[in-house]
Amino acid sequence: MSEPEMAVISLVPEGEKHQVVGERKVILPGINLEIWTTRMIALSRWELHGLNDPFWRLYIPVKGGAKITVDGDQDRIESTLRVGEAYIIPPHTTMFSETSGEFAKWYVHFTLGHRGDRVSPGIFPVEMTGVMEAAVKNLSNLEAGAYPWASLNLVGEALKQLPGSVWSFRKLDHRVETAIEFMHVNLGRKLVAREVAAAAGVSVRNLNHLFQHHLGKSPMNVLLDFRLNQACRLLRHSNISIDQIAEDCGFPNRYYFSRMMKQVRSTSPAAYRKAEF
């Protein structure tokens, strides 16, 4: 008597015409890589005084040098940026810099989504691999208007050199993750704590407790941070009007948006957009 066939998992909903049948071997989480800009700039002066932005930075010096100091979790970290090396700085790392002469660098601003962007602040030197060197060469030769696919190689090669501790720094309760995901999906909507709590399957009181325990802030303050983060990215890397950015990011109007920027980020939307770093 032959043995019965082992059941397999269908990867297509029952009733569909598609025929994809097999066994799931590996399921990896997705990642939301978004490259906001890739630029090469030559500077005669580069002085930052406590800059704090909501995106990753990849610096690749090509001429001269600079000193940069960042606020880590417990102390300040000072580094010298040198030609032939690359440096990654996570979001919301407070930065100070100075140069003694001309300084030129490639830089990439990018985000990895709310999970990938929630890491420890600091500055991480990484090796300029052959892939990265080739990418910089390709970027330097691009014709005006060409899409910089080489930026993907730069970011990917740099990120894979980061220590594993960077990614395990802030693991959250799954209910907090669910609430955060709901916030991001509905960033442009007017949300109240009751809706967020319902999405996470908890009471408003429990949601507040979970957020205070894991993030040190209330859910509505975390939502405000997310809205300001997205607004700052759009201010720095798009030509969308300030009124439209306010609407897209869930603020009732431009004036409330401006008040929150000044209160939380100590600058106005117009001043933030005008600044170039």
Q: What is the pLDDT of residues 235-249, one digit of tens each?
A: 988 889 999 999 999
Mean pLDDT lowest among 2-11, 33-42, 98-107, 203-212:
2-11
C-alpha span between 87 and 58 (Å, rounded) = 6
> How does pLDDT run across 193-223, given as a tens digit for each residue?
999 999 999 999 999 999 998 888 899 999 9
Give the pLDDT score at 118: 82
3-state secondary structure of 210: helix
Select the highest-mean-pLDDT range: 30-34, 69-73, 171-175, 197-201: 197-201
| CATH class of this structure's domain 174-274 | mainly alpha
Mean pLDDT calculated for residue range 221-230: 91
C-alpha span between 200 and 203 (Å, rounded) = 9
C-alpha span between 63 and 44 (Å, rounded) = 11
Q: State the fold for domain 34-167.
A: Jelly Rolls (2.60.120)
CB contact at 8 A, 182 and 199: yes
DSSP string, 100-155: SS-EEEEEEEEE-HHHHT------EEEE--HHHHHHHHHHHTPPTT---THHHHHH
Q: What is the pTM of this model?
A: 0.78
Give the pLDDT score at 143: 66
Residue 277 confidence (pLDDT) above 70? no
Residue 86 confidence (pLDDT) above 90? yes
Using CA atoms, how far residue 163 sits from 53, 70, 78, 153, 171, in Å, is 22, 18, 19, 18, 16
Q: Output the average pLDDT for the chain.
A: 87
Mean pLDDT lowest among 35-39, 63-67, 168-172, 178-182:
168-172
Using CA atoms, how far residue 94 sits from 97, 199, 260, in Å, is 10, 33, 19
Residue 2 confidence (pLDDT) above 90? no
Domain borders along the chain are 34-167, 174-274
Give the pLDDT score at 1: 46
Give the pLDDT score at 8: 52
C-alpha span between 249 and 113 (Å, rounded) = 16
Residue 191 confidence (pLDDT) above 80? yes
> How does pLDDT run across 95-110, given as a tens digit for each residue?
999 998 899 999 999 9
Query: Residue 189 carries which DSSP code?
Result: S
Tokens of 89: 């700085």
146: confidence class by pLDDT, cuts 50, 70, 90:
low
Give the pLDDT score at 12: 61
Residue 19 confidence (pLDDT) above 80? no
Give the pLDDT score at 94: 92
Give the pLDDT score at 173: 85
138 CB-near residues (< 8 Å, 6+ apart):
150
Mean pLDDT lowest among 70-74, 117-121, 180-184:
70-74
Give the pLDDT score at 162: 93
Mean pLDDT calculated for residue range 20-44: 83
Mean pLDDT lowest among 9-18, 74-83, 130-139:
9-18
Give the pLDDT score at 67: 94
Query: Residue 160 half-sphere exposure, CB side, CA atoms within 13 Å?
Result: 9
